[in-house]
Amino acid sequence: MPVSETIKKQFMEYITLQAFDDQLIDRTEEKQIVEIGLKNNLTVDESLAIIREVAQQKGLVIERDAEDRAKEFLHKAATNDGQVSKKEFDDAVGLFKTATKGKFRDPDIKQRLKKMMLDNGWKAKEGIFSGGSWFSELG
């Protein structure tokens, strides 16, 4: 069933309000927004589509989208030669930071991307000629 224009407009206003202070829709806010959508008879997919529509119109950042971009970048880097170099990792950090408009600090981004690499079994290229033990030193 198509979403009524009234419900969609109210839902869009709610999304705008949730990101009003920091122009960011983090994972927690995204989940809360989808729950409100469900209470208003929207499906998860409809809610997510409207979130993306509002984000695009208002220039909002969606944390999940930034993570997905960084993950795709690291995946490509890891499949290229089997490992992620320090430069490729730093490029992924920059990509995430740009995608989130600087809303996250570098140490937090690096920890997040390190965990992503570990969770996906992607190896870091370390050694004397590969930037030292940069990955191990991330903590």
Structure confidence by residue, pLDDT tens digits, 30-50: 999 999 999 999 999 999 999
The confidence score (pLDDT) of residue 3 equals: 79
The confidence score (pLDDT) of residue 35 equals: 97
Determine the 3-state secondary structure of 7 from DSSP.
helix
126 near 89, Cβ under 8 Å? no
Who's near 64: CB < 8 A, 6+ residues apart? Answer: 27, 30
First-to-final CA distance of the chain: 49
Least confident range from 1-10, 17-26, 85-94: namely: 1-10
Determine the 3-state secondary structure of 127 from DSSP.
strand
The confidence score (pLDDT) of residue 80 equals: 83
The confidence score (pLDDT) of residue 65 equals: 95
What is the arithmetic mean of pLDDT over 66-85? 94
pLDDT band per the 50, 70, 90 thresholds, residue 138: confident
Take residue 44 and report the two structure tokens written for it.
Answer: 């998860």
What is the arithmetic mean of pLDDT over 82-90? 93
Any idea which residue has 């409207």 for tokens? 50
7 near 41, Cβ under 8 Å? yes
The confidence score (pLDDT) of residue 1 equals: 62
Query: How much is the mean pLDDT over the chain?
Result: 92
Q: Is the pTM of this model over 0.75?
A: yes
